[in-house]
């Protein structure tokens, strides 16, 4: 007497394998798309963090230091006891031992409402490159009477 065992036929197994291959292929495609989006989000976060760090450092320095001068791609903040220099390079801005990986489109310096090329500074406008969606940064300080006496 023959006992029939319950089993899948070869056709059923082949169909299951084909469906499995399709599902696995779709999942790898979706995974690669998610990875690309995560990389773009990570880059955007990095750029915004660098921009915010630079903005915060400039606001702190412009309000803490009495004298601000610009000459030959160097912005110098000076007080009686300390000084900090910003070096403007084509691909980055160097603040003493700190580096901001930000590309500038242009920088404009102001003193008493007029644009200058060197000398005393009381306002700075930085125009960022296209990768930052052409954002700009403007920091300034109010001058007191001592600033105009020197």
Total domains in the chain come to: 1
Q: Is 3 inside a domain boundary? A: no
Cβ atoms < 10 Å from Cβ of 77: 21
Residue 4 domain flag = no
The pTM for the full model equals 0.76
Is 5 part of a structural domain of the chain? no
What's the domain range around 123?
A: 10-149
* Structural domain includes residue 92: yes
| pLDDT (tens place) for every residue of the chain, 150 residues total | 677 778 778 898 999 999 999 999 999 999 999 999 999 999 889 888 999 999 999 999 998 898 899 998 999 999 888 999 999 988 899 998 899 998 888 899 999 889 999 999 999 999 988 877 778 899 999 877 766 665
């Amino acid at each position: 007497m023959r006992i029939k065992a319950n089993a899948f036929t070869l056709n059923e197994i082949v169909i299951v394998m084909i469906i499995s291959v399709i599902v696995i292929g779709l999942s790898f495609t979706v995974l690669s798309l998610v990875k690309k989006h995560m990389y773009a989000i990570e880059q955007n976060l990095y750029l915004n963090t660098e921009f915010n760090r630079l903005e915060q450092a400039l606001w702190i320095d412009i309000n803490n230091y009495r004298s601000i001068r610009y000459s030959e791609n160097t912005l110098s903040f000076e007080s009686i006891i300390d000084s900090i220099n910003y070096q403007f390079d084509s691909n980055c801005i160097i603040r003493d031992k700190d580096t901001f990986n930000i590309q500038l489109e242009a920088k404009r310096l102001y003193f008493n409402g007029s644009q200058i090329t060197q000398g005393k500074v009381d306002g700075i406008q930085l125009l960022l490159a296209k990768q930052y969606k052409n954002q700009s940064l403007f920091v300034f300080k109010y001058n007191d009477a001592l600033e105009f006496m020197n």
